[in-house]
């Protein structure tokens, strides 16, 4: 009778180990597929700035006998994005976007002529399993940590405004 209990325990532990190994294999397959889609430097065709605003407002009120009050509050959140078109494996250009804080820019001096490119840096783990996923944007949102854009320096002009330039004249003396 004891051997049946031990057999059940070892069978259950073996089942757990096999399930864990299958999850690791699926995660590795997802990583290889993502590296195939997003790996290497990809040609950029067009880049645009855009912003998205989300406003939330609430109004409430109370009334008791002859006195009452109305209270309202609101907030607006604005997110800034870079919209870009990049060349995929099949040669077509895919329109996608990334938030400003997920973009790194590598301007190359104007002495060299450079074709603008983008390179995606993937997150280190927990890849989305995407056997049914058809949206490249969802794959980017869930699996790309940031992107590096390489372009000519003239395509990314310097526009630095130091805060010391705005000090009142009396403080500059």
Q: What percent of the chain has pLDDT over 70?
A: 67
Q: In what order do the strands lie in the sheet with 144-152?
A: 93-99, 67-87, 41-64, 117-122, 144-152, 103-108
Q: Would strands 144-152 and 103-108 be described as parallel, antiparallel, or unpaired?
A: parallel
* Closest to 47 measured CA to CA, from 102, 118, 107: 118
CA distances to 12, 16, 31, 62, 145 from 22, in Å? 15, 10, 14, 58, 25
Cα 143 from Cα 130, distance rounded (Å) = 11
Q: What are the sequence ranges of the domains in the chain?
A: 31-47+81-155
Dump pLDDT digits (tens) for 82-112. Answer: 899 999 888 899 999 999 899 999 888 877 7
**Whether pLDDT at 134 is above 90:** no
**Whether pLDDT at 27 is above 70:** no
Place of tokens 């009396």: 170
The pLDDT of residue 25: 47
Angle at alpha carbon of residue 151, lines to 31 and 80, rounded to 5°: 70
Q: Give the mean model confidence (pLDDT) for residues 120-133.
A: 69
The pLDDT of residue 24: 47
CB atoms within 10 A of CB 6: 9
The 3-state DSSP class for residue 70 equals strand
* Closest to 145 measured CA to CA, from 98, 86, 84, 78: 98
Q: Structure pTM?
A: 0.62
Rank 48-62, 70-84, 120-134 by mean pLDDT and report only the highest: 70-84
- The whole-angstrom distance between residue 137's C-alpha and the CA centroid of its chain comes to 9
The pLDDT of residue 28: 57
């Amino acid at each position: 009778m004891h051997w049946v209990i031990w057999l059940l325990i070892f069978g259950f532990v073996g089942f757990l180990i096999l399930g864990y190994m299958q999850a690791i294999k699926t995660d590795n397959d997802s990583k290889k597929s993502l590296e195939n889609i997003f790996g290497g430097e990809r040609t950029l065709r067009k880049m645009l700035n855009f912003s998205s605003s989300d406003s939330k407002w609430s109004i409430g009120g109370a009334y008791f006998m002859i006195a009452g009050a109305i209270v309202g509050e609101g907030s607006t959140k604005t997110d800034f994005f870079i919209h870009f078109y990049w060349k995929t494996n099949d040669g077509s250009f895919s329109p996608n976007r990334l938030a400003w804080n997920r973009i790194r820019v590598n301007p190359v001096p104007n002495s060299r002529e450079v074709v603008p490119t983008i390179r995606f840096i993937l997150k280190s783990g927990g890849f989305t399993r995407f056997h049914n996923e058809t949206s490249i944007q969802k794959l980017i949102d869930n699996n790309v940590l940031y992107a590096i854009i390489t372009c000519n320096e003239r395509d990314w002009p310097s526009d630095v405004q130091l805060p010391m330039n705005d000090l009142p004249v009396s403080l500059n003396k």
